[in-house]
Each structure stands twice: as structure tokens, then as C-alpha cells.
Amino acid sequence: MADSPEKALCVIIGSGPAGYTAAVYAARANMKPILYTGPEPGGQLMITTEVENYPGYPEGVQGPTMMDDFQKQAERFETDVRHEMITKVEFNSGGVHKLWTESDHELHANAVIISTGASARWLGLENEKRLAMSGGGVSACAVCDGFFYRDMDVAIVGAGDSAAEEALYLSKLCTNVHMLVRRDEMRASKIMQERVFKAKNIQIHWNTETVDILGDETVTGALVKNNKTGEQSTIPVQGFFVAIGHTPNTKIFADYLELDPQGYLITTPGRTFTNVEGVFASGDAQDNIYRQAVTAAGTGCMAALDAERYLAEKGII
């Protein structure tokens, strides 16, 4: 027979900067949060090497170390951190929300904070994964890692607004930026395209696909193929950026919560309310624009404060 459902004041789903910050605030407000880490404990920062733009770390910090610090801080206030995944939900506006873990444990929560993040899309090449994991020069975030390639040559793959924006960002730091576009046109908005075309040190390689990323310890080049002519060539670069979009981790909420066409959770502007009372959203799962650790932490704090007020207004805490 299945166990009877566990009752919780507040369940937090996700363990990136948003989830852990929500946990610190919720725990200090006596909401006894239970945090489910999900399949990638620590979130996207676990595949980042050095983080230099998070305030409070003047010397920079390794992404995994920072996430370890986040977890310790949440646990210091007795957040119940569980290394499992929530696989199913049943939300009930203004009432008790039901959640199930992968091992079929059932929880009934008065408030739920979603901070499941968004996963960067990758090309799927073996060397891409290896050199991203080792900090060897492959990254899915130019704003986070571009600084390490000052005065060097880099490549960026993608042709949407993110790729255009990141190519422009890199062009201010790097000597040359090679933009690898798989078609003969870009998906990015016209204004972004114009800016890219105007940048003197961005070279666009049209109809170009990445065959492989070269380098043992660090990136030394990109092996590319022109998909019109079939011709292969090597572009020598020290950094390789992937900007082919993100997938928000929101699939299990789709029956209950409003999502935008790309799957991001829709929240009340300036707040963390979803369309279901008692369910709050924070971090990259609801942020298609900024996607930074510090902004995710900020919205995690907001979600916990919103949840606390909600529970107080209902007379639950």
C-alpha cells in the first residue's frame, strides 16, 4: 500500500540559484521548505567553470563551488534538500497542490515554488560536451564566459536573437568572432542582424555547420562544413560558444500553468504569481530575457516572499 501523502507548507522544485535562494528565504520565514533538486542538482552553473559576475565573490568562484555554497546556506536554515525529481503535479488553485516524486512519493503542499530552470540546447557533439564539462573553452553563455577570451578568436553557433546578442557582446571583447549560421539567412530580428553586419570583427559563415570542435585540453579550432558545397575547413579559435536556444523545464506543468509559445512560465509582470493561486515561478523557467544567476536568485527571493504572504493571508502560517 502506498504511504499516505506527506504534508508540506512549501515545496520548491529545482536547485539552481533561484531554488536555493527561495529556500533560504522560505526557511528563515519558518515555511519548512522541502526542495527537490531534480535531475541536474545545482542547475546550469554545474557546467560552468569560473563565475566572475556574481556579487560577493571578488576573486570569482567555480560554478559547482558556488552551488555548493548555495546548498549549504539553504540547509543551514533547515531546508529539507532531497535528491529526487518531481515527475507529476496536480495543482488546485488556492487549495492544496499535489506533487509526486519519481519514486511515487506523494506530497500535498500549500505553496509551490517552481525554479526548474531552462536547459541550454547543445549541438550534441562528443567534444562539445567534453570541453564544456572540463571548462576547456566550450560554453553556452557568452555573458558568463566571454571575458575569458579577451583578445582571442572565438566562434559562435546560432542565428537567433541570442546568438546575435552574444556575438555582439563577444565582438567587444574578442579579436575576431566567427558566427556559424546553418542557413543562408538569420532568424534574428532585423535590427539585431544589422548590428551584427555592422560589427567589423564579426565574420558570418553562411550555410555552415559544425562537424567537430578541435582541441585536447582546450579548444583550438572548429571543423566546419559548408552544407551547399560540402567543403570542410578548420577555423582556428580558442573559444566556442553555442547559442542555439534554451528549453525551459516546464513540461510537467503544462496542463495547469500558462506557458508562452516557447514553454516559459508566464508570471504576473514584476511578480512571481502564476495563473494558479499558491504556485509561484522563479528563475530561468520564467525568464527568457536575462537568464543570469543573480537575476534567478533575485526572483527566487521574490517567489519565497510572495509565497510567505500568500500563506499568511490564508492564515496557514
One of 9, 157, 302, 304 touching ligand NDP (CB under 6 A):
157
- Assess 245 for contact with ligand NDP (CB under 6 A): yes
Of the ranges 19-27, 154-162, 168-176, 211-219, which one interacts with ligand NDP (CB under 6 A)?
Answer: 154-162
One of 10, 113, 159, 307 touching ligand NDP (CB under 6 A):
159
274, 280 Cβ separation under 8 angstroms: yes
> Which of residues 26 and 159 has its CB atom nearest to ligand NDP in the complex?
159
Q: Is 301 a catalytic residue?
A: no
One of 160, 173, 204, 206 touching ligand NDP (CB under 6 A):
160
Distance (Å, whole) CA 143 – CA 118: 16
- In the complex, the smallest distance separating the C-beta of residue 135 from ligand NDP, rounded to whole angstroms, is 23
Q: How far is CA 314 from CA 148, 277, 282, in A?
A: 49, 11, 22
- In the complex, the smallest distance separating the C-beta of residue 160 from ligand NDP, rounded to whole angstroms, is 2
Q: Is 284 a catalytic residue?
A: no
Supply the angle between the helices 293-313 and 17-28 in degrees, to the nearest 10: 40
Q: Which of 3, 104, 145, 151 is catalytic?
A: 145
Site for ligand NDP in 116-145 (CB under 6 A): 123
Distance (Å, whole) CA 147 – CA 124: 25
Distance (Å, whole) CA 43 – CA 35: 13
- Assess 165 for contact with ligand NDP (CB under 6 A): yes
Site for ligand NDP in 215-244 (CB under 6 A): 244
Q: Is 306 a catalytic residue?
A: no
Give the number of residues in contact with ligand NDP, rule: CB under 6 A: 16
Q: How far is CA 49 from CA 62, 64, 171, 178, in A?
A: 5, 8, 21, 23
- Element at 62 (helix H, strand E): strand 61-62
- Element at 307 (helix H, strand E): helix 293-313
Beta-sheet pairing, 61-62 with 208-214: unpaired
- In the complex, the smallest distance separating the C-beta of residue 94 from ligand NDP, rounded to whole angstroms, is 32
One of 92, 220, 288, 295 touching ligand NDP (CB under 6 A):
288
**How many CB atoms are located within 10 Å of the residue 292 CB?**
17
Q: Which of 141, 174, 301, 306 is catalytic?
A: 141
Using CB under 6 A as the criterion, which residues of the chain lie in contact with ligand NDP when the complex forms?
123, 157-163, 165, 182-183, 187, 244-246, 288
